[in-house]
Structure 1
């Protein structure tokens, strides 16, 4: 795993983003997909909104995903495997890039067929504690024909990444605008942010 962590750190330092395949093994992906939350689908999830706290709004013209927040104290064993690995990554980044990252917040995410999330930044205008965005995909047998790419907007170019199972994408929350393109299949992920403060659990 240190080799994968090294590739993530190198990418963040050089480009502000990194893509690491096999962050979760196939068996770990399948175990997460077998949890009660994903097995019951969007019936166990809430419609995702735009903004935070009192400013939260539902706007399907901007985003169409459904989410279920994870609490590290009550998460299922398969989800805890991912959360623990994310904690290891935080410690590794702090040691190598000398950042003062302290915690994370993660939700399970379902994008129904045809849904999307328009171009945006992950860091809130009035809350700059999200430092790194981390997305781990759970989509088995995903190919380009299914769509659903994560599109990053970089200086002078755009990059698209397929949401294939086990792949982790990590990038600067304050710098890289991105969007989720529509897909012909339901699109699943663990979506989160690494913070420079202890996570606020009130939204969970």
Structure 2
């Protein structure tokens, strides 16, 4: 696992992003997909909004996903495997890049067929504590023609990342704009942010 963590660190230093396959194994993804949450997302998840706290708005013209926040103290064991690995990644990045990341926040995410998230930056204008964005995909046997790519914009161009099961994408929340393209099948992920402050 240290080799994967090193690859994340190297990518962040060199390009401000890293794309790592097999961050979750096939079996670990399968265990997460057995959780009832994704199958009952219309009852358990909330429509995702834009902004934070008093500025939060629901706007389906900008984003169409549903989310369910994970609590690191009460998350089911299958999801806790990912949260623990993410915490290990944070400790590794702190040591290798001399960062001072303190915590993380993660939600389960469902994009129904045809939904998307327009181009945006993850760091809030009034709250800059989100430093790194982390997305781990849960979509088995995903094909390019099914869409659903994450499109990342760099200074000079853009590129697309397929939402393949077990793949982790990590990038600077304050630098890289990105969007989620519509797909022809439901798209699942664990989406979160690494923070420079402790969540109260």
The DSSP-based 3-state class of the residue aligned with 1:160 is strand
2:10 is matched with: 10
CA contact (8 A) 2:41 2:66 kept: no
Structure 1: distance between partners of 2:5 and 2:37: 28
2:84 is matched with: 84
Structure 1: distance between partners of 2:40 and 2:25: 23
1:48 is matched with: 48
RMSD of the alignment, in Å? 0.7
Give the drift of 1:156. Answer: 1.0
Q: 2:99 matched to 1:99?
A: yes
The DSSP-based 3-state class of the residue aligned with 1:152 is strand
Give the drift of 1:36. Answer: 1.9
Structure 1: tracts of 5 or more residues without a match: none
The DSSP-based 3-state class of the residue aligned with 1:99 is coil
1:72 is matched with: 72
Paired residues for 1:1-204 under 5 Å: 1-200=1-200
Structure 1: distance between partners of 2:14 and 2:199: 27
Structure 2: distance between partners of 1:23 and 1:77: 17
Give the drift of 1:42. Answer: 2.7
Give the drift of 1:38. Answer: 1.5
Give the drift of 1:44. Answer: 1.2
* Cα shift readout 1:38-68 (whole Å, capped 9, x = no counterpart): 2323321100000000110000000000000
CA contact (8 A) 1:29 1:165 kept: yes
Structure 1: distance between partners of 2:108 and 2:199: 16
Structure 2: distance between partners of 1:9 and 1:42: 36
Structure 2: tracts of 5 or more residues without a match: none
Structure 1: distance between partners of 2:71 and 2:126: 24
Give the drift of 1:155. Answer: 1.0
Structure 2: distance between partners of 1:198 and 1:28: 27
